[in-house]
Amino acid sequence: MPLMSRSDGVYLSKLPGFRKMFPFLMPTRTEAYMHHDQLLRMKKTLQVLDELNTGRTERRYTIFHVVLAAAVRSFAMRPDAHRFVAGRRIYQRRHIELSFVTKKELTDTAAETNVKLRFEPTDTLPQVAERVWAAVSDTKTSKSSKDEDITDTLTRLPRFLTRLIMWGWKVLDYFNLLPASEIKGDALYCSAYFANLGSIGLKAVQHHLFEWGTCPFFVVIGKLKKEVLVSDDGQIVVEDVVTSTFTLDERITDGVSYARVIGMVSNFIEDPTRLLEPPDPAALPDPFALV
């Protein structure tokens, strides 16, 4: 059926009826979200970053690159967590697309711009970093972005007209009638949204989900700091750690799957050596098995 298909997702017709009911029991992300805090031990991560950055003065690898690469690999390996809800139906996402905010300059008055990047399931940490470097470079050299142009136009209109346009957009989205170009250009139609608060020296906060778009994950990364921990052999040690928070849409999969994907992301971040090589494509699960 034409109205069951979308440019960004494929309807999961073979999901159990119990799971299909969740968007009706909880129509909004606001009533379906869950929070999870995760402490990440960064000793191995920092060692890998030091090795990768040896001799580099520009385009240096950062913790944020590792986080994005870990998410790409985890979504490729756990397609059951790579879904979204639209029009009270659950869809398998067609592409791995991650969004984040960047500033043209690190000042209070500099404009913020959303960046949305598409990745391949087999991308490695270096490939993820290359895409991010290129996108951030383009953003900093451009005079304006599509987001800025659209919001400037909308906020000049009378309020009732802005509300009407946004209502009409949501109606089109509900019935899968939004043009693919509009979905592609909107940063909140993504696999996950990332906030790198560590880059400005802040701790991770528990972030909300947006009702706009289809993003079911919001990941916040806090600053690198020292913390007293207990090692695997029971010794008291001081280690470099990063706090992270995950906000999740409960409707797309079950708690066991969420626990496993968060554990997988965390393990990749804490030991990114496995992200330096691509996975075997033949070993990746079929994301459309329940279509």
Q: What are 107-118's pLDDT values in tens digits? A: 666 667 899 999
> What would the pLDDT profile of 122-133 be if each residue is shown by its tens digit?
999 999 999 999
CA distance 28 to 242: 31
203 DSSP 8-state letter = -
Distances (CA, A) of 26 to 249, 250, 251: 10, 9, 8
What pLDDT sits at residue 150? Answer: 82
CA distance 50 to 103: 25
> Among 55-64, 98-107, 168-177, 280-289, where is mean pLDDT lowest?
98-107
> What would the pLDDT profile of 203-239 be if each residue is shown by its tens digit?
999 999 999 999 999 999 999 999 999 988 889 999 9
Distances (CA, A) of 209 to 51, 75, 226: 36, 19, 30
What pLDDT sits at residue 160? Answer: 96
The mean per-residue pLDDT over the stretch 256-264 comes to: 95
> Among 14-23, 121-130, 145-154, 266-275, where is mean pLDDT lowest?
145-154
Give residue 141's pLDDT band: very low, low, confident or very high (50, 70, 90): confident
Distances (CA, A) of 136 to 101, 196, 204, 257: 10, 14, 22, 32
Cα-atom radius of gyration of the chain, to the nearest Å? 20
CA distance 257 to 215: 17
Which helix (H) or strand (E) element contains residue 256? helix 255-270
3-class secondary-structure state, position 120: coil
3-class secondary-structure state, position 140: helix
> What would the pLDDT profile of 53-109 be if each residue is shown by its tens digit?
999 999 999 999 999 999 999 999 999 999 999 999 999 999 999 999 987 666 666
Task: Report the CATH superfamily, name and number, of domain 2-275.
Answer: Chloramphenicol acetyltransferase-like domain (3.30.559.10)
What pLDDT sits at residue 108? Answer: 64
Give residue 182's pLDDT band: very low, low, confident or very high (50, 70, 90): very high
Residue 109: both structure tokens together: 């008055």
What pLDDT sits at residue 31? Answer: 94
What pLDDT sits at residue 107? Answer: 65
pTM, two decimals, is 0.94
Q: Which residue has the higher pLDDT, 149 or 73?
A: 73
- The share of the chain scoring above pLDDT 70, in percent, equals 95
Domain residue ranges of the chain, discontinuous segments joined by +: 2-275
What pLDDT sits at residue 1? Answer: 47
pLDDT above 80 (res 251):
yes
What is the overall mean pLDDT for the chain? 93
In a 10 Å sphere around its CB, with 0-12 CB exposed, 13-18 middle and 19+ buried, how is residue 289 labelled?
exposed
What pLDDT sits at residue 146? Answer: 66
